[in-house]
Amino acid sequence: MANVLLSASVIIAGVLWVYSVTMEDGQMSNHERTMTFTCFVFFDMFNALSSRSQDRLIFEIGFFSNKCVLQYLNTPYQVHAYAANDRANSFLSIA
């Protein structure tokens, strides 16, 4: 239970820190919202990678040793690349 609370505290502190650093004019904009969400996603990805063992660090296990987790973490980037390619093709067909 202590590990879960520590992990959640680190994620919350990191996300709030990024939010406070990106908040420039005191009003919420798309930039602050995007940076905060992206930071949360990266913290969650690292948490998923590091939660694979109770007694060994992620640096001992290796980032690329579990192919299923890597595929899970890579899927959003593949979807984004596919969507960007689809938008580019539709733009070229219109022009």
In angstroms, the Cα distances linking 72 to 3, 23, 31, 75, 84 are 23, 31, 26, 6, 20
The pLDDT score that the predictor gives to residue 59 is 75
pLDDT tens digit string along 48-88?
Answer: 777 777 777 777 777 677 777 777 766 766 665 665 555 55
pLDDT tens digit string along 14-53?
Answer: 888 888 888 877 777 787 888 888 888 888 878 877 777 7
Domain of residue 89, residue span: 2-94
Instruction: Provide the domain count of the chain.
Output: 1
Cα distance between residue 70 and residue 64, in whole Å: 7
